[in-house]
């Protein structure tokens, strides 16, 4: 969709409101919408699918990109534009393969902290335990009545429950719902002292 | 004179005597302590009559002194029906009796008691059924007798919360067995949620002996130490399939109430037992209480429920109540031992209190407190909800679960009897079993879920239930004395009512319940179900087992509507330009989930400017589907009624979609961007459904087609630039696309850079009928492009226009809107687009039906109409009738004032025989007047040849 020209204006997120700092850094929410998002559509078992090397419901890190198996024949690359592009460039596109820039289609948030799972429990019916949704898991679900794709992408190893250190979730939704969903997560995390933090430059380690 | 009924400090009391709380009772200032319930505070202040009964308005005092007390409902501020024997006292509470007039002491409605003999069960059914025409009047009068508090409609919506949970084990009940089960399950590695109805853990240990209370504290500490999630003042209100349990949390730091939807792998029901009242004459007089009520008053809250007591005891709890009373200096005038065959016949007294008790031996004993301890009801609701049908055990005089349910286990009093140690041990065994079974279920869930951790080991064997069952102790069957009394205290239903109803033929327990309303009040059968069944059994001359019981259904305890509603999630969608719209005074309108600008102050001026200069409108909600693959034309041919095989790269085509029944589903244009890449637009409301429709065809009928459909609706900010000066404006912002008419003509698409934003595409189409460009810009730069359009076109007169102006302009052009000018019966030929139905295609959605519909000469026709009076704008949906009759010939579907033509214009569906141009039709206006309108030659009222948009 967009080959970013040098003279392009700055990317504008769908989250535009200003937020007061939270009372705790134990639970944070950041707007990562500016990260490049690339969809690859390829049949399971195809050469492109094999080279992405991730199964439905899981994810893996490749350079500055997180590769998500978010549908049986659909992958999402989240990361820097350059990193995503280099992965796409190496794809064997024989057969029926489509590559679509989804950067502008999806809002992307990161919810991190010991209470991140408890926050999601207030807006989503899925089981966020380590056993059912471990680090690396990818799932689609309704969050506060908005269809979302969620990837658990912890920033540091998490011990066995219930002593989770800081589970971290990347949450993608249709851009038009971005402001609504961001506010819904702020509301849900209010009892845990959620704070809004600035997005990291690129995918966090 | 008011007495202070507060006892000297008691060991284990929960009140904080150094923290007094002021409150009012019916306007009178009183004082209680932190830790008091409203009930204990009132009784401490010598309040004995706290409510009036529902039907006869008989004076009532506390009877069970717990959540289920049927006499305890009060108005607290603007909160009606507060359970005062459960709700904790707060400073400043304004507490009032409910449904009394003019006062609790002198309630006029108590006159109902004088005509009691006429108000028996079924009175309303029999009395007010005829004449039916008078029902509205009856209803008005009866409403004034309705029980309950008052709702202040101005009360703001409170913050209620909702949460999901997936614990391994949910334990319902925090008594000794429930706590032991929770501890054992947690120690076995399970994630456990322990739900307790009361404000603290402990169950009946809380009002037991000093040793009992010490054990409660010990177990509670162990519960917390084991990592159990404890929810007090909470109730498991329902159990549904797969152990989906609803838990209402009545107090929470951030919410008034919170509803937890917990998917428990195993559920342990440790709901304990509920003490049953006894049925005899005068059993609802203030001062008649259960043994548990008395012990809670004395041992937990340190108040004197009376001064001289008679204790009617059939069990150890009754004996303990007598001992507790004597210990604190309340004289026990007589212990009436049911186990020795003694019985209570009638309680006598005045409107404020019981004064004496008449016994079966003929004696009468003076007292102001009558304590009954006649047995328990097992609250088997959660077992009922799990499919069990508990059975009656005559020797124990109560019901027990009868089924073995794999993921629902019982422990504690609901499962049997025993010493505290035996109950705790049974609880521990139950907790271990629940955890072991939860582990197997968890293993199965992980193995079946793609994202979950794959189990390392083979599935464990299903743990068998090796627990030794608890004993069932013998207990006298005591339900009703030789006299009649109240059975359902919530609904004022007496045993006499039940017998009468049974004699009238309502002798099935289900019929009896509905006819008399017994068990249907706020106590929800917890106090009265077994007595109801016992009275019916007696009337029928059968056993309780033969009569059976009604089935307990959710909720276990009433839930507020606020808790059920929870947090309100109402997603709204906005485009990237929405901040600009808001900053520039746009009037918002909600279109589906989208917030859109309806206009910026004057929609008529917006139309005129667009027709004269150039206007810009945010059309981002327009559905957009990215289609890729060599078989896209096959999909388009399948979805649209017209042909798509020869659409050239760079071209745009309009298409109509129908469902299999030929009814118009959606319409829009699709552009071919490159050989295998297309962009489809749908209506705003059809964006989601058409994606699903396309996927449905691909996944079910044609999985061999190589097509990828990806929704990109909000990946692009869409802007329509319309008006005679639109090309001039676009030329200032586009450098890499030749905009000359010869190079970029009507119904074509081009990709390029707009306002320094690469990756845009634009097509020449237009809903407005003007020369126009529809721009699709990567959404992260949408606002930038919008601002540049407005900045660069100042000298061209560029202005934004909203949805209303667009509607006007599209109506001037006669374009129909799917869903407004069509409905659920409108087939494609009605729209006038029969030329787009290509029956010579191999197949397309709706083909078979449309082949027939094209020959149907009776289907309505969409026509353009102009009212004879150009100032008259008929409301949309006005009927079109045959002149002088009410014979319906059609209806107006769209109707607006055109600032371009300076007259009203319409679209409408009419029957074919009145659809010819020039036909005069009669329109019935909303106020009943009739007006005339003329059928026009073209759908378009303005520029019918389309000359303005092809320049």
Rounded CA-CA distance B377/B383 in Å is 14
Which B residues 236-255 touch A at CB under 8 Å?
253-254
Rounded CA-CA distance B135/A5 in Å is 76
Task: Point out the residues of chain B with pLDDT beneath 70.
Answer: 1-2, 112-120
What percent of the residues of chain A are helix, what percent strand, and what percent coil, each to the nearest 5? 20, 35, 50
In which band, very low, low, confident or very high, does the pLDDT at A1 lie, cut at 50, 70 and 90? very low
Task: Name chain B contacts of A175, Cβ cutoff 8 Å.
Answer: 576, 714-715, 779
Mark yes or no for CB contact A8/B756 under 8 Å.
Answer: yes
Which A residues 141-160 touch B at CB under 8 Å?
144-146
Last residue of a domain, one of A46, A80, A101: A101
Tell me the β-bridge partners of B778: B716
A58 in contact with B, Cβ within 8 Å:
yes
The DSSP annotation for A3-57 comes to ---TT------S-----PPPS-SSEEEEE-TTSEEEEEEE-TTSHHHHHHT--TT
Residue A13 in domain: no
Contact A162, B191 (CB under 8 A): yes
Residue A20 in domain: no
Structure tokens at B893: 């579907």
Give me the residue label for tokens 């690359």.
A77
Which A residues 155-194 touch B at CB under 8 Å?
161-162, 174-177, 179-181, 184, 187, 190-191
Task: Name chain B contacts of A134, Cβ cutoff 8 Å.
Answer: 451-453
In this predicted structure, what is the pLDDT of residue A3?
35
Give me the residue label for tokens 């065809």.
B697
Rounded CA-CA distance B531/B523 in Å is 13
Mark yes or no for CB contact A132/B778 under 8 Å.
Answer: no
Of A16, A77, A18, the residue nearest A52 (C-alpha): A77
Of B644, B612, B640, the residue nearest B900 (C-alpha): B612
A90 and A47 within one domain: yes
State the nearest Cα–Cα gap between B459 and chain A, in angstroms.
15
Total count of domains within chain A: 2
State the nearest Cα–Cα gap between A63 and chain B, in angstroms.
22
Task: Name chain A contacts of B450, Cβ cutoff 8 Å.
Answer: 55-58
Mark yes or no for CB contact A145/B570 under 8 Å.
Answer: yes
Three-state DSSP state, B409 = strand
A112 and A81 within one domain: no
Longest Cα separation, chain A: 52
Whole-prediction pTM value?
0.91
Of B940, B640, B623, B659, the residue nearest B826 (C-alpha): B659
Select the residue of A4, A14, A161 nearest B758 (Cβ to Cβ): A4
Contact B556, B381 (CB under 8 A): yes
Task: Name chain B contacts of A131, Cβ cutoff 8 Å.
Answer: 442, 446, 452-453
Mark yes or no for CB contact A126/B164 under 8 Å.
Answer: yes
Residue A15 in domain: no
Give me the residue label for tokens 């504690």.
B412
Residue A17 in domain: no
Task: Name chain B contacts of A174, Cβ cutoff 8 Å.
Answer: 573, 713-714
- Taking CA–CA distances from B631, the nearest residue in chain A reads A96
Pairing assessment for the beta strands B798-800 and B614-618 based on DSSP bridges = parallel
The DSSP annotation for B454-523 comes to PPSSPPPPPPP--PPPPB-------SB-SS--EEETTTTEEHHHHHHHHHTT--SHHHHHHHH-TT-STT
A98 in contact with B, Cβ within 8 Å:
yes
Average pLDDT, stretch A21-29?
A: 78
Mark yes or no for CB contact B254/A176 under 8 Å.
Answer: no
Last residue of a domain, one of A83, A101, A119: A101
Q: What is the CATH number of the domain that holds A45?
A: 3.30.70.1520
Three-state DSSP state, B690 = helix
Structural domain range at position A114: 27-34+105-197
Residue A58 in domain: yes
ipTM: 0.93
Select the residue of B166, B628, B715 nearest A127 (Cβ to Cβ): B166
Instruction: Tell me the CA distances in angstroms from B369 to B49, B157, B298, B376, B422, one per residue in order.
Output: 13, 43, 13, 20, 34
A179 and A124 within one domain: yes
Residue A204 in domain: no
Interface mutation target, options A127, A141, A185, chain B, most CBs of B under 10 Å: A127
Which B residues 700-729 touch A at CB under 8 Å?
706, 708, 710-716
Q: What would the pLDDT profile of B612-642 be if each residue is shown by its tens digit?
A: 999 999 999 999 999 999 999 999 999 999 9
A82 and A122 within one domain: no
Select the residue of A56, A101, A132 nearest B452 (Cβ to Cβ): A132
Task: Name chain B contacts of A123, Cβ cutoff 8 Å.
Answer: 569
A148 and A94 within one domain: no
Rounded CA-CA distance B689/B686 in Å is 5
Query: What does the buried/exposed string (b/e) look like for B261-294 if buried means 16 or more CB atoms within 10 Å of the residue's CB?
Result: bbbbbbbbbbbbbbbbbbbbbbbbbbbbbbbbbb
State the nearest Cα–Cα gap between B467 and chain A, in angstroms.
29
A173 and A121 within one domain: yes
Residue A10 in domain: no
Which A residues 108-127 touch B at CB under 8 Å?
121-127
Rounded CA-CA distance B632/B657 in Å is 15
State the nearest Cα–Cα gap between A189 and chain B, in angstroms.
11
- Taking CA–CA distances from B229, the nearest residue in chain A reads A162
Is the sign of the CA dihedral A182, A185, A190, A193 positive or negative? negative
Rounded CA-CA distance B94/B25 in Å is 7
Residue A177 in domain: yes
Contact B152, B554 (CB under 8 A): no
In this predicted structure, what is the pLDDT of residue B157?
82
Interface mutation target, options B252, B630, B779, chain A, most CBs of A under 10 Å: B779
A167 and A153 within one domain: yes
A57 and A113 within one domain: no
Q: What is the CATH number of the domain that holds A188?
A: 3.30.1360.120
Helices and strands, number each (H, E), in chain A? 4, 11
A145 and A110 within one domain: yes
Nearest 5°: the CA angle A173, A178, A183 is 120
State the nearest Cα–Cα gap between B594 and chain A, in angstroms.
9
- Taking CA–CA distances from B788, the nearest residue in chain A reads A9
B256 in contact with A, Cβ within 8 Å:
no
A137 and A92 within one domain: no
Mark yes or no for CB contact B576/A187 under 8 Å.
Answer: no
CB neighbours of residue A57 within 10 Å:
20
State the nearest Cα–Cα gap between A48 and chain B, in angstroms.
15
A165 and A111 within one domain: yes
Mark yes or no for CB contact A5/B758 under 8 Å.
Answer: yes
Of B411, B382, B427, the residue nearest B185 (C-alpha): B427
Last residue of a domain, one of A51, A74, A101: A101
Residue A158 has pLDDT above 80, yes or no: no
Rounded CA-CA distance A119/A144 in Å is 11
Rounded CA-CA distance A10/A4 in Å is 10
A91 and A62 within one domain: yes
Structure tokens at B186: 């947690």
Residue A6 has pLDDT above 70, yes or no: no
């Amino acid at each position: 969709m967009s080959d970013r020209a040098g003279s392009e204006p700055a990317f504008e997120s769908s989250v535009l409101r200003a937020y007061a700092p939270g009372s705790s850094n134990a639970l944070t929410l950041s707007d990562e919408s500016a990260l490049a998002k690339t969809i690859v559509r390829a049949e399971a078992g195809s050469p492109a699918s094999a080279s992405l090397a991730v199964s439905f419901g899981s994810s893996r890190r490749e350079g500055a990109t997180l590769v998500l198996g978010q549908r049986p024949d659909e992958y999402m690359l989240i990361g820097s534009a350059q990193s995503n592009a280099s992965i796409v460039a190496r794809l064997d596109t024989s057969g029926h393969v489509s590559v679509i820039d989804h950067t502008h289609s999806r809002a992307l948030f990161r919810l991190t902290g010991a209470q991140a799972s408890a926050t999601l429990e207030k807006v989503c019916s899925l089981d966020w335990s380590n056993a059912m949704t471990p680090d690396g898991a990818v799932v689609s679900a309704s969050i506060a009545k908005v269809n979302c794709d969620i990837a658990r992408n912890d920033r540091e190893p998490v011990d066995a429950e219930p002593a989770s250190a800081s589970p971290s979730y990347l949450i993608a939704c249709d851009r038009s719902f971005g402001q609504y969903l961001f506010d819904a997560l702020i509301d849900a995390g209010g009892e845990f002292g959620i704070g809004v933090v600035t997005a990291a430059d690129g995918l966090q380690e | 004179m008011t007495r202070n009924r507060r006892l000297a400090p008691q060991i284990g009391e929960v009140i904080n005597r150094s923290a007094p709380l002021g409150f009012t009772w019916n306007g009178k200032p009183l004082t209680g302590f932190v830790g008091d319930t409203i009930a204990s505070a009132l009784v401490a202040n010598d309040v004995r009559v706290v409510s009036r009964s529902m039907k006869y308005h008989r004076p009532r005092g506390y009877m069970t002194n717990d959540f289920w007390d049927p006499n305890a409902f009060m108005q607290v501020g603007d909160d009606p029906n507060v359970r005062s024997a459960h709700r904790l006292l707060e400073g400043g509470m304004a507490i009032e009796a409910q449904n009394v007039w003019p006062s609790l002491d002198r309630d006029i409605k108590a006159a109902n008691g004088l005509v009691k003999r006429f108000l028996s069960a079924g009175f309303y059914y029999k009395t007010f059924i005829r004449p039916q025409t008078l029902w509205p009047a009856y209803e008005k009068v009866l409403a004034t007798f309705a029980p309950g508090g008052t709702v202040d409609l101005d009360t703001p919506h409170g913050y209620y919360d909702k949460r999901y949970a997936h614990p391994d084990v949910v334990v319902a009940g925090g008594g000794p067995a429930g706590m032991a089960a929770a501890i054992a399950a947690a120690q076995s590695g399970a994630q456990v949620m322990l739900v307790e109805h009361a404000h603290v853990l402990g169950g009946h240990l809380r009002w037991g002996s000093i040793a009992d209370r010490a054990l409660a504290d010990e177990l509670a500490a162990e519960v917390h130490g084991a990592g159990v999630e404890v929810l007090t003042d909470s109730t498991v209100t329902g159990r549904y399939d797969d152990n989906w349990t609803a838990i209402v949390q009545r107090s929470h730091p951030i919410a008034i109430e919170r509803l937890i939807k917990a998917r428990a792998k195993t559920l342990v029901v440790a709901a304990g037992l509920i003490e049953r009242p006894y049925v005899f004459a005068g059993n609802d007089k203030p001062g008649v209480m259960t043994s548990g009520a008395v012990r809670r008053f004395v041992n937990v809250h340190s108040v004197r429920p009376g001064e001289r007591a008679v204790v009617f005891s059939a069990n150890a709890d009754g004996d303990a109540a007598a001992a507790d009373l004597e210990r604190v200096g309340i004289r026990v005038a007589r212990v009436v031992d049911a186990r020795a065959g003694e019985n209570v016949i009638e309680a006598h007294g005045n409107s404020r209190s019981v004064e004496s008790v008449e016994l079966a031996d003929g004696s009468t004993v003076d007292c102001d407190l009558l304590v009954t301890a006649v047995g328990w009801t097992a609250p088997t609701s959660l077992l009922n909800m799990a499919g069990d049908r508990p059975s009656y055990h005559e020797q124990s005089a109560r019901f027990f679960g009868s089924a073995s349910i794999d993921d629902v286990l019982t422990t504690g009093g609901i499962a049997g009897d025993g010493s505290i140690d035996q109950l705790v041990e049974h609880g521990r065994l139950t907790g271990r079993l629940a955890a072991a079974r939860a582990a197997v279920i968890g293993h199965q869930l992980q193995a079946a879920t793609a994202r979950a951790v794959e189990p390392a080991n083979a599935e464990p064997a299903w743990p068998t239930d090796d627990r030794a069952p608890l004993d069932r102790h013998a207990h006298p069957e005591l339900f009703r004395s030789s006299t009649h009394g109240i059975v359902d205290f919530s609904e004022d239903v007496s045993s006499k009512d039940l017998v009468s109803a049974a004699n009238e033929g309502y002798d099935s327990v289900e019929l009896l319940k509905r006819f008399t309303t017994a068990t249907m009040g706020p106590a929800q059968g917890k106090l009265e179900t077994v007595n109801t069944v016992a009275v019916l059994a007696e009337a029928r001359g059968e056993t309780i087992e033969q009569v059976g019981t009604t089935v307990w259904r959710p909720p276990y305890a009433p839930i507020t509507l606020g808790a059920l509603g929870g947090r309100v999630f109402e997603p709204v969608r906005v485009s990237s330009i929405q901040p600009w719209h808001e900053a520039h005074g746009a009037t918002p309108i909600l279109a589906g989930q989208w917030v859109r600008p309806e206009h910026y102050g004057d929609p008529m001026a917006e139309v005129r400017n667009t027709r004269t200069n150039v206007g810009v409108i945010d059309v981002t909600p327009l559905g957009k589907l990215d289609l890729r693959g060599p078989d896209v034309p096959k999909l388009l041919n399948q979805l649209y009624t017209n042909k798509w095989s020869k659409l050239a790269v760079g071209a745009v085509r309009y298409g109509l979609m129908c469902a299999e029944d030929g009814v118009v589903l959606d319409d829009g244009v699709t552009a071919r961007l490159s050989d295998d890449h297309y962009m489809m637009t749908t209506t705003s409301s059809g964006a989601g459904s058409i994606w699903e429709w396309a996927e449905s065809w691909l996944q079910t009928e044609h999985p061999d087609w190589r097509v990828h459909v990806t929704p990109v609706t909000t990946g692009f900010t869409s802007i329509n630039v319309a008006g005679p000066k639109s090309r001039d404006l676009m030329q200032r912002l586009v450098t890499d696309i030749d905009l000359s008419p010869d190079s970029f003509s009507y119904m074509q698409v081009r990709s390029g850079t707009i306002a320094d934003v690469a990756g845009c595409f634009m097509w020449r189409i237009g809903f407005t009928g003007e020369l126009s460009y529809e721009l699709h810009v990567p959404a992260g730069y949408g606002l930038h492009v919008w601002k540049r359009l407005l900045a660069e076109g100042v000298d061209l007169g560029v202005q934004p226009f909203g949805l209303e102006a667009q509607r006007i302009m599209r109506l001037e052009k006669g374009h129909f809107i799917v869903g407004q000018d069509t409905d659920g019966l409108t087939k494609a030929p009605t729209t006038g687009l029969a030329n787009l139905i290509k029956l010579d295609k191999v197949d397309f959605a709706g083909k078979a039906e449309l082949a027939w519909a094209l020959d149907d000469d009776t289907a309505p026709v969409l026509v353009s109409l102009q009212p004879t009076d150009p100032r008259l704008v008929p409301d949309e949906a006005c009927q079109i009738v045959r002149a002088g009759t009410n014979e319906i010939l059609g209806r107006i579907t769209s109707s607006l004032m055109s600032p371009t033509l300076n007259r009203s214009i319409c679209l409408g569906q009419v029957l074919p025989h009145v659809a010819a141009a020039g036909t005069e039709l009669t329109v019935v206006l909303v106020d009943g007047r009739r007006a005339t309108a003329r059928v026009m030659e073209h759908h378009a009222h303005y520029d019918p040849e389309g000359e303005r948009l092809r320049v």
